[in-house]
Amino acid sequence: MEEKELDLLLGEGKTYEIAGQLLQIQKMNLRRLLAIARVSVDIVVDEGVLSGDDPQKMHDEQFNIVNTNAKKCARILALAFVEDYKNAAKVDEMEDFILDNINATELKTMAVDIIGHADLPNFIASTLIMRSRVTQVTKVED
């Protein structure tokens, strides 16, 4: 079994050193995943403008993305790193620490690792399994 798969099974996440502080992605239980999802769905990107042919609009949208989403991205990382993610003060403190100490490249790397650690494919599969029915629902006619 690969180390990445073993880490997922054990709930151990990757560790990063940021400004001399070691931060580890915590076990991605469903409540933590839900907290992260609630922030993630509010991330706004106008992909049409980014893929358009107007350089000025593309430039403006890039800065708009930073303006509207930097704190949300930092919040997602904070929720993944803080052991007591239900403690808003601790999450706020970690969010500020992240905003002050990482760059866009580090954000991308951490985001990929967090999404991988969230194991979304297995969550989606579980949801589909739970939604499935043993028998077909029969519609009652009036």
- Predicted TM-score (pTM) of this structure: 0.80
Counting Cα atoms < 13 Å in the Cβ hemisphere of 47 gives: 1
Check pLDDT > 60 for residue 103: yes
Question: Degrees (nearest 5) of the Cα angle 66, 93, 19?
Answer: 75
* Token representation of residue 126: 């579980």
Q: What would you report as the CA-atom Rg of the chain, rounded to the nearest whole angstrom?
A: 19
CA distances from 46 to 41, 43, 64, 91, 132 (A): 14, 10, 9, 28, 35
Check pLDDT > 80 for residue 10: no
pLDDT in tens, 30-59: 999 999 999 999 998 888 888 888 889 888
- Mean residue pLDDT of the chain comes to 87
State percent of the chain over pLDDT 70: 87
